[in-house]
């Protein structure tokens, strides 16, 4: 394979999304402010991109690479690799972006205003293209550039409503992300200096050499930790989570969902790639750090979430806590790094399905309730089961999944998958902390679910609304996802391999 | 017994129709719950204006009961692969240990639903309550029938959320007078949340322990794990101890073993009558069943080391619960506290690690289910009539006012205090016999002197139990039937009729069962004692 040859099928999904973004912008230029046109084009772009995945994945389970450095025979020297990992993350990211696009379709106070609708969808597609590119990239530079492509459009999307809270959230996200990227670039430079490679597979081969001087190994570890900062910010791991609550509450609700699922997925993908593909031989050095971060993240976030009285704030903290669960299996990477990565991805896939379902229900309720600059209180959900049984059912089922209680079996099996390597790797202390966190989280999920069934308080009418067609499709898709995965949890394990 | 166990190993797949009986017993209540909970209210009004939803639930429950009885007698075990990538299978199996509990569950559920036909809950819709009862039944039967550790855990959790709703929505707030005269009010909502949070902490710790067992042993199949431990090549002692600490904590909260019982009195008192019956008569048994099914046969070496401490907590619970009962001012709360003492006997029996002790534990388990179920039904009947269960506000002299109710209440109290000839007697007798000769096997002989002390303390607990139950009988049942200031005035008198035929239909089977098991304990012992020996094969 010569270095200049590019496998078009492999980059087709990323390119298709970028093209779709441009098409949406052009359409908005020709016919300004046409909501249905822009949203329709964006949804079509996402669907077409999804349809391109099978041809990119035609060699599975064997991996295929492109943009390869000269002289490399296998995928180890390639910057872009399509394997099972990339394909799973691509599918989840596209599904998430599709739900977000559908939920933004109907006009309301919470949706982008007519003048901004073209930019809104173009930026959404551009950011998603960044996620796709990140999940397939296998060198430090592509990873970091893709990460920036994920972040910058989201900053604008957060601010799109133009409220004071939105601007505050967007600025916070922008500052923290930029600072994080700077630190990570520095970390990448240290890693490059210590190993002489940017390709993860080559770094892995280099650090596996036994004859490293201790000083250089320490420098490399410091470089690795710095490198992870930008990704940790995307995942919102404590203490890199400080931007999350305000940004979530400031953003339009679908964009908060995007931050919680798609953009978080990009961060997890980066962490998994760097650690498991690049630094697995050093697992004994970084796994304890990940264990502590996971334990602190879920405990702190759950304790704060217990005090939340506002729906989006609660979801922000709950998604931070869930991020702790996603990285917890990596604590056992010293035992079996592949099993740890698989467990992480399984949890991530399940988390995406149940969080998207929650955000779908919350968006519908929020749209009916939101006033300019106002939040969505948990008490706004009082009596929802009486007026909107379908949305209420979706929300309660999704909350049961997040809590990991039957009937939400998808969440329960995700937790099982996360526990397995941790217990198998002998980190029983972490498993006990995780177990206690299940109970903490249950308290607030259950309280919310109970509100849905409660009688409305003192003369306040429960919310009722009409579902538009895109809303109905979003409800149908997310409900199907969590019901099917709960009925046949083995599907996720099969998908992840 | 080893041959019957060997034939159950591994996912065997489906190859005969008799394997479907137990699966049907599990699926029927689940489908019934789905039918009752998911169908919109309008559907029932339009299509079935003549058929009450609760009646439909009773129908489903009747079929389930029949299928369960047939299934425990004739059904063959079934095991299917569920989540192969995690090595988890799904199976149903009924043997001497689980069979009686499965039948008890199906029977108690049936009685609860029949009760619900006439005796409507104070708040909330009866249709949803009936659906939740069926859902709880699914979870509990799933726990008893499970063949796989993970399946055991999943069903352990199934009953939780429905029970939360049952207590929070259909329950009533609990008023309690502290010794210094303050009124403490625990809302039903709070009692339910407390119960669920306690249980979930326990069950998730248990999950970690179960994973530890399964991942270290390479299988989650309970029969296989039991057989390995019996053959002496089970898990290492340190792994067993860690696993037992985690699993044991989870089960101890469920049983509950003192001092992890704090959730119980409030939850049982706040729950509606059918909820209290299900909680006390069946749900507590999942904890002791877990000790018998997992802790003793799969973690025998750890169990031998922990048994003296476990027995200590059990007898402490017996005495403390009885003392607490003597101070209770509320009848329902008193019976709830009494459960802690009775379950203490079950745990003491298990901790002796002797065949007679384990047999006693299983007998006491079933007996407590029958007697406490009856007691909660009777208190519910009193509450329906007088709208209170406070001892001070209930009228005296039930013998004179409502003779049938009074006689039944006295009968249940005598059964509960372990009168010879009634069901409560045998389990406690066998347990005490076990404690007199605790297991003395191999290098880990249980300290006989210590167990004799426990025996003495447990007997004191028995006397105290008799004391509080007799006090209750004197206060409520005996005495002159006239002249109660609150309930004889026309303004407060509600409906205070004698037990209706319908109520008798619900209460009589439990009273008859308590009598039959008291007169002929061999009905259970011939089934259970061989299994008690089998469970102890690993204890060496």
In this structure, chain A runs to a length of 497
Within 8 A of A412 by CB-CB distance, chain B residues are 154, 157
Check pLDDT > 60 for residue A116.
Answer: yes
d(CA B429, CA B451): 15
Q: Which residues of B touch chain A, with CB atoms under 8 Å apart?
A: 40, 82-86, 88, 139, 150, 154, 157-158, 160-161, 164-165, 168-169, 189, 193, 196-197, 200-201, 204-205, 207-208, 211-212, 215, 242, 246
Q: Which residue from A434, A438, A446 is facing B164, i.e. has the nearest CB?
A: A446
Listing DSSP states for B386-439 in one string gives HS--BTTTSPS-HHHH-HHHHHHHHHHHHHHTT-TTSHHHHHHHHHHHHHHS--
What is the rounded average pLDDT of the residues B273-280? Answer: 89
CA nearest neighbour of B385 among B406, B371, B368: B406
pLDDT tens by residue, A122-163: 999 999 999 999 999 999 999 999 999 999 999 999 988 777
At residue A295 the predicted structure's pLDDT band, cuts being 50, 70 and 90, is very high
Within 8 A of A389 by CB-CB distance, chain B residues are 40
What is the rounded average pLDDT of the residues A67-93? Answer: 85
At residue B485 the predicted structure's pLDDT band, cuts being 50, 70 and 90, is very low
Q: Name the least confident of A434-448, A452-466, A467-481, B201-215.
A: A452-466
Tokens of B319: 């005495």
d(CA B71, CA B65): 10
Q: How far is CA A244 from CA A174, B116, B204, in A?
A: 11, 49, 28
Q: Name the least confident of A178-192, A447-461, B466-480.
A: A447-461
Interface of A with B in 405-434 (CB under 8 A): 405-407, 409, 412-413, 415-417, 419-420, 423-424, 428, 431-432, 434
Question: Testing the interface with A: which of B157, B164, B241 to mutate, by most A Cβ within 10 A?
Answer: B157
* Position with higher pLDDT, B93 vs A92: A92
Look at residue B9 in the predicted model and tell me its pLDDT: 47
What residue in A sits closest to B168 (Cα-Cα)? A450
What residue has token string 């993860």? A200
Check pLDDT > 50 for residue B490.
Answer: no
Most trustworthy range by pLDDT among A12-21, A205-214, B467-476: A12-21
At residue B78 the predicted structure's pLDDT band, cuts being 50, 70 and 90, is confident
Check pLDDT > 60 for residue B2.
Answer: no
Look at residue B66 in the predicted model and tell me its pLDDT: 85
**Other CB atoms closer than 10 Å to residue A54's CB: what's the count?**
11
- Mean pLDDT for all residues in chain A: 88
Tokens of B277: 């019956």
Look at residue B402 in the predicted model and tell me its pLDDT: 81
Look at residue A459 in the predicted model and tell me its pLDDT: 64
* Position with higher pLDDT, A58 vs A357: A357
Check pLDDT > 60 for residue B248.
Answer: yes
What residue in A sits closest to B81 (Cα-Cα)? A490
Look at residue B493 in the predicted model and tell me its pLDDT: 43
Check pLDDT > 70 for residue B517.
Answer: yes
What residue in A sits closest to B203 (Cα-Cα)? A435
Look at residue A456 in the predicted model and tell me its pLDDT: 67
ipTM for the predicted complex comes to 0.80
Three-point CA angle A273, A274, A275, nearest 5°: 95
Q: Name the least confident of B96-110, B371-385, B440-454.
A: B440-454
Q: Which residue from B139, B205, B215 is facing A420, i.e. has the nearest CB?
A: B215
Look at residue A495 in the predicted model and tell me its pLDDT: 83
Answer whether the bond into residue B256 is a cis peptide, omega within 30°. yes
pLDDT tens by residue, B303-314: 888 888 999 999
CB contact under 8 A, A419 and B189: no
Three-point CA angle B58, B61, B67, nearest 5°: 145
What is the rounded average pLDDT of the residues A91-119? Answer: 83
At residue A164 the predicted structure's pLDDT band, cuts being 50, 70 and 90, is confident
pLDDT tens by residue, B336-380: 888 999 999 999 999 988 888 889 999 999 999 999 999 999 998
Look at residue A443 in the predicted model and tell me its pLDDT: 85
pLDDT tens by residue, A381-440: 888 888 888 899 999 999 999 998 888 889 988 998 898 899 888 888 998 899 889 888
d(CA A386, CA A190): 59
What residue has token string 């099972």? A84
Check pLDDT > 50 for residue B8.
Answer: no
Look at residue A264 in the predicted model and tell me its pLDDT: 94
At residue A114 the predicted structure's pLDDT band, cuts being 50, 70 and 90, is low
What is the rounded average pLDDT of the residues A267-281? Answer: 92
At residue A110 the predicted structure's pLDDT band, cuts being 50, 70 and 90, is low
* Position with higher pLDDT, B116 vs B488: B116
**Beta B174-177 vs B183-186: how paired, if at all?**
antiparallel
Q: Which residue from B86, B168, B197 is facing A493, i.e. has the nearest CB?
A: B86
pTM exceeding the 0.90 threshold for the entire prediction: no
Least Cα separation, residue B248 to chain A (angstroms):
14
What is the rounded average pLDDT of the residues A292-303? Answer: 94
| A169 contacts A250 by C-beta, under 8 angstroms | yes
CB contact under 8 A, A406 and B161: yes
Listing DSSP states for B451-480 in one string gives HHHHHHHHHHHHHHHHHHHHHHIIIIISS-
d(CA A388, CA A410): 24
- Mean pLDDT for all residues in chain B: 83
Within 8 A of B246 by CB-CB distance, chain A residues are 432
Look at residue B442 in the predicted model and tell me its pLDDT: 61
CB contact under 8 A, B211 and A428: no
Least Cα separation, residue A294 to chain B (angstroms):
17
Q: Name the least confident of A101-105, B51-55, B151-155, B318-322.
A: B51-55
Look at residue B1 in the predicted model and tell me its pLDDT: 33
Percent of chain B predicted with pLDDT > 90: 19
3-state secondary structure of B236: coil
* Position with higher pLDDT, A42 vs B384: A42
What is the rounded average pLDDT of the residues A294-299? Answer: 94
Check pLDDT > 90 for residue A166.
Answer: no
* Position with higher pLDDT, A179 vs B258: A179
Question: Could you give phi then psi for residue B80, rounded to 5 degrees?
Answer: -125, 155
CB contact under 8 A, A489 and B83: yes
Percent of chain A predicted with pLDDT > 70: 95
Three-point CA angle A381, B156, A321, nearest 5°: 50
What is the rounded average pLDDT of the residues A351-379? Answer: 84
Look at residue B139 in the predicted model and tell me its pLDDT: 92
Look at residue B105 in the predicted model and tell me its pLDDT: 93
pLDDT tens by residue, B201-231: 888 889 889 988 888 888 888 888 888 888 8
Look at residue A353 in the predicted model and tell me its pLDDT: 95
CB contact under 8 A, B169 and A453: yes
Look at residue B328 in the predicted model and tell me its pLDDT: 84
């Amino acid at each position: 394979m010569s270095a200049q040859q590019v496998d078009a099928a492999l980059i087709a999904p990323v390119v298709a999304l970028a093209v779709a973004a441009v098409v949406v912008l052009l359409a908005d230029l020709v016919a300004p402010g046409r909501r249905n046109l822009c949203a329709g084009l964006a949804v079509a772009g996402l669907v077409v991109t999804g349809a391109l995945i099978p041809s990119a994945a035609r060699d599975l389970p064997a991996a295929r690479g492109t943009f390869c450095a000269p002289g490399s025979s296998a995928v180890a020297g390639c910057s872009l690799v399509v394997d099972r990992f990339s394909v799973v993350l691509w599918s989840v990211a596209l599904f998430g972006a599709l739900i977000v696009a559908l939920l933004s379709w109907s006009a309301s106070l919470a949706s982008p205003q007519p003048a901004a609708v073209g930019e809104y969808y173009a930026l959404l597609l551009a950011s998603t293209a960044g996620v796709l590119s990140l999940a397939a990239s296998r060198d430090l530079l592509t990873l970091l550039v893709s990460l920036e492509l994920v972040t910058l459009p989201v900053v604008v999307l957060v601010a799109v409503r133009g409220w004071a809270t939105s601007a505050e959230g967007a600025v916070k996200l922008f500052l923290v992300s930029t600072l994080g990227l700077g630190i990570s670039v520095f970390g990448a430079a240290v890693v490059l200096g210590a190993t002489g490679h940017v390709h993860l597979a080559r770094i892995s081969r280099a650090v596996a050499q036994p004859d490293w001087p201790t000083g250089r190994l320490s420098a490399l570890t410091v470089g690795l930790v710095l490198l992870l900062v930008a990704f940790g910010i995307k995942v919102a791991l404590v203490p890199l989570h400080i931007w999350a609550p305000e940004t979530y509450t400031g953003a339009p609700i679908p964009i908060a969902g995007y931050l919680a699922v798609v953009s978080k997925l990009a961060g997890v993908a980066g962490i998994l790639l760097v650690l498991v593909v690049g630094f697995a031989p050093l697992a004994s050095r970084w796994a304890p750090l990940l264990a502590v971060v996971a334990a602190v993240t879920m405990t702190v976030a759950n304790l704060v979430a217990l005090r939340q009285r506002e729906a989006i704030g609660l979801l922000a903290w709950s998604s931070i806590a869930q991020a702790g669960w996603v990285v917890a299996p990596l604590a056992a990477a010293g035992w079996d790094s592949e099993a740890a990565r698989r467990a992480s991805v399984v949890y991530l896939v399940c988390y995406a399905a149940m969080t998207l379902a929650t955000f779908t229900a919350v968006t519908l309720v929020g749209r009916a309730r939101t006033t300019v600059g106002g939040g969505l209180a948990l008490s706004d959900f009082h009596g929802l089961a009486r007026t909107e049984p379908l949305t209420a059912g979706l929300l309660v089922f999704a909350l049961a999944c997040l809590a990991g209680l039957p009937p939400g079996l998808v969440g329960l099996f995700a937790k099982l998958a996360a526990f397995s390597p941790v217990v198998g790797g002998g980190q029983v202390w972490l498993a006990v902390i995780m177990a206690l966190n299940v109970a903490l989280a249950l308290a607030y999920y259950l309280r919310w679910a109970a509100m849905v069934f409660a009688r409305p308080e003192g003369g306040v009418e429960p919310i009722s609304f009409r579902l538009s067609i895109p809303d109905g499709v979003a409800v149908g898709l997310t409900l199907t996802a969590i019901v099917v995965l709960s009925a046949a949890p083995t599907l996720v394990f099969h998908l992840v391999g | 017994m080893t041959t019957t166990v060997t034939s159950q190993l591994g996912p065997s797949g489906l190859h005969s129709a008799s394997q479907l009986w137990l699966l049907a017993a599990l699926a029927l209540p689940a489908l019934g719950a789905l039918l009752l909970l998911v169908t919109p209210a309008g559907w029932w009004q339009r299509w079935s204006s003549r058929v009450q939803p609760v009646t439909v639930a009773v129908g489903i429950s009747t079929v389930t009961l029949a299928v369960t009885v047939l299934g425990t007698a004739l059904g063959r075990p079934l095991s299917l692969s569920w989540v192969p990538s995690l090595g988890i299978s799904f199976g149903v199996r009924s043997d001497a240990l689980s069979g009686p509990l499965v039948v008890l569950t199906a029977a108690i559920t049936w009685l609860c639903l029949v009760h619900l036909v006439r005796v409507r809950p104070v708040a909330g819709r009866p249709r949803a309550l009936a659906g939740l009862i069926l859902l709880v039944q699914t979870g509990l039967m799933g726990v008893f029938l499970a063949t796989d550790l993970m399946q055991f855990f999943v069903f352990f959790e199934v009953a939780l959320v429905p029970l939360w709703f049952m207590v929070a929505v259909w329950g009533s707030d609990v008023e309690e007078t502290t010794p210094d005269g303050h009124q403490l009010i625990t809302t039903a909502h709070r009692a339910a949340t407390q119960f669920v949070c306690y249980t979930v902490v326990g069950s998730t710790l248990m999950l970690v322990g179960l994973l530890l067992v399964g991942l270290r042993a390479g299988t989650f199949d309970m029969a296989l794990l039991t057989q390995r431990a019996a053959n002496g090549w089970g898990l290492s002692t340190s792994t067993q101890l860690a696993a037992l600490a985690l699993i044991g904590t989870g089960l101890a909260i469920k049983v509950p073993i003192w001092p992890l019982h704090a959730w119980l009195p409030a939850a049982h008192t706040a729950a509606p009558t059918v909820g209290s019956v299900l909680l006390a008569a069946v749900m507590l048994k999942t904890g002791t069943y877990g000790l018998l099914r997992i802790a003793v046969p799969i973690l025998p070496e750890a169990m031998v080391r922990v048994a003296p401490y476990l027995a200590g907590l059990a007898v402490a619970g017996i005495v403390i619960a009885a003392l607490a009962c003597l101070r209770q001012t509320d009848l329902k709360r008193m019976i709830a506290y009494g459960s802690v003492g009775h379950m203490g006997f079950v745990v003491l029996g298990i901790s002796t690690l002797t065949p007679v002790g384990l047999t006693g534990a299983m007998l006491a388990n079933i007996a407590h289910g029958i007697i406490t179920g009856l007691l909660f039904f009777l208190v519910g009947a009193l509450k329906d009539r007088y709208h209170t269960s406070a001892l001070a506000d209930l009228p005296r002299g039930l013998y004179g006012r409502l003779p049938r109710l009074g006689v039944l209440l006295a009968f249940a109290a005598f059964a509960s205090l372990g009168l010879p000839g009634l069901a409560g007697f045998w389990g406690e007798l066998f347990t005490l016999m076990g404690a007199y000769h605790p297991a003395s096997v191999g290098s880990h002989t249980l300290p006989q002197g210590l167990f004799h002390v426990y025996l003495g303390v447990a007997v004191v607990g028995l006397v105290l139990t008799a004391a509080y139950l007799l006090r209750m009988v004197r206060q409520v049942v005996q005495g002159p039937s006239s002249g109660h200031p609150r309930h004889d005035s026309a303004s407060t008198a509600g409906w205070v009729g004698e037990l209706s035929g319908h109520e008798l239909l619900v209460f009589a089977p439990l009273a008859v069962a308590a009598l039959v098991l008291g007169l002929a304990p061999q009905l259970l012992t011939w089934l259970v004692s061989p299994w008690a020996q089998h469970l102890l094969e690993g204890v060496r």
